[in-house]
Chain A
Amino acid sequence: GAVVSQHPSWVICKSGTSVKIECRSLDFQATTMFWYRQFPKQSLMLMATSNEGSKATYEQGVEKDKFLINHASLTLSTLTVTSAHPEDSSFYICSARRLAGEGFVETQYFGPGTRLLVL
């Protein structure tokens, strides 16, 4: 079935460094991908919508200069956490939507997530 991958799975970095997280749709094209973050014991919170070939749409309260999103192709979106600080430590999850087709319903698949720990 359709799979969305994320890389890396775990990141531990020092405060002030930048971290790039990749999200790939492995067997389908996704014009739109979504980036979420999740704090322990909380629900997923949408950070931004990543559109292939155009600028990302950020949710209110999310700093676009802090969280850079690039949707380089129909199968790849990247999230860069710039100048990361301890409060950016979280679980980041990307998602890609696959439209309905022959034999399958429309659905949104999620990557396995990336755990970021900023020291």
Chain B
Amino acid sequence: AQKITQTQPGMFVQEKEAVTLDCTYDTSDQSYGLFWYKQPSSGEMIFLIYQGSYDEQNATEGRYSLNFQKARKSANLVISASQLGDSAMYFCAMYGMNRDDKIIFGKGTRLHILP
């Protein structure tokens, strides 16, 4: 069985500071994919970044980077130079070997950016 753990229910960060949101996972699959999504108050799930288990380099997308440590089974999201608009709920997610496998989500981290 697969499991995603986000241990930070909420975080408060000063604007322009970097933020690291923690995510650990558990799976017996050799091949899997990891995602981070942002959910603002509107409810829409916004894709941020993807990391495949066989990707040797950490994924980066603009201000977002994924600190992938396979041996430790962690996939932390790093947001550089945070902005007020980054305030939202952030979900870590994964799916397993079969590409039709469902994505499972962590419980999320509520990020608040302070001016």
Q: How far is the CA of A59 from the CA of B104 in the complex (A)?
A: 12
Looking at B13-21, B22-30, B68-76, B95-103, the stretch in contact with chain A turns out to be B95-103
Say whether, besides A51-B100, A99-B99, A107-B35, A43 and B47 are in contact (CB < 8 Å): no
In this assembly, does A78 line the interface, its C-beta being within 8 Å of a C-beta of chain B?
no
CB distance from B59 to the nearest CB of A (A): 8
| Residues 28 to 66 of chain B near chain A (Cβ within 8 Å) | 33, 35, 37, 42-47, 50, 52, 59
Interchain CB contact under 8 A, B45 and A43 = no
Q: How far is the CA of A109 from the CA of B108 in the complex (A)?
A: 18
Closest to B108 in A: A43
In this assembly, does A106 line the interface, its C-beta being within 8 Å of a C-beta of chain B?
yes
CB distance from B92 to the nearest CB of A (A): 10
Q: Interface size bucket, A side?
A: 20 to 34
Say whether, besides A32-B100, A43-B106, A44-B91, A115 and B33 are in contact (CB < 8 Å): no
Interchain CB contact under 8 A, B50 and A113 = no
Say whether, besides A44-B105, A105-B50, A107-B35, A113 and B99 are in contact (CB < 8 Å): no
In this assembly, does B107 line the interface, its C-beta being within 8 Å of a C-beta of chain A?
yes
Over the window 81-116 of chain A, the binary record of Cβ atoms lying under 8 Å from chain B Cβ atoms (1 yes, 0 no) is: 000000000010101010100000111111111010
CB distance from A87 to the nearest CB of B (A): 19
Q: How far is the CA of A95 from the CA of B107 in the complex (A)?
A: 18
User: Number of residues in B with C-beta < 8 Å to the partner?
Assistant: 23
In this assembly, does A49 line the interface, its C-beta being within 8 Å of a C-beta of chain B?
yes
Interchain CB contact under 8 A, A43 and B105 = yes
Interchain CB contact under 8 A, B107 and A113 = no
Interchain CB contact under 8 A, B100 and A107 = no
Interchain CB contact under 8 A, A113 and B35 = no
In this assembly, does A34 line the interface, its C-beta being within 8 Å of a C-beta of chain B?
yes
CB distance from A100 to the nearest CB of B (A): 9
Q: Which residues of A contact B47 (CB under 8 A)?
A: 107-110
Q: How far is the CA of A69 from the CA of B46 in the complex (A)?
A: 24
Interchain CB contact under 8 A, A113 and B102 = no
CB distance from B39 to the nearest CB of A (A): 9
Q: How far is the CA of A43 from the CA of B91 in the complex (A)?
A: 8
Interface, chain B (partner A; CB < 8 A)? 33, 35, 37, 42-47, 50, 52, 59, 91, 95, 99-100, 102-108
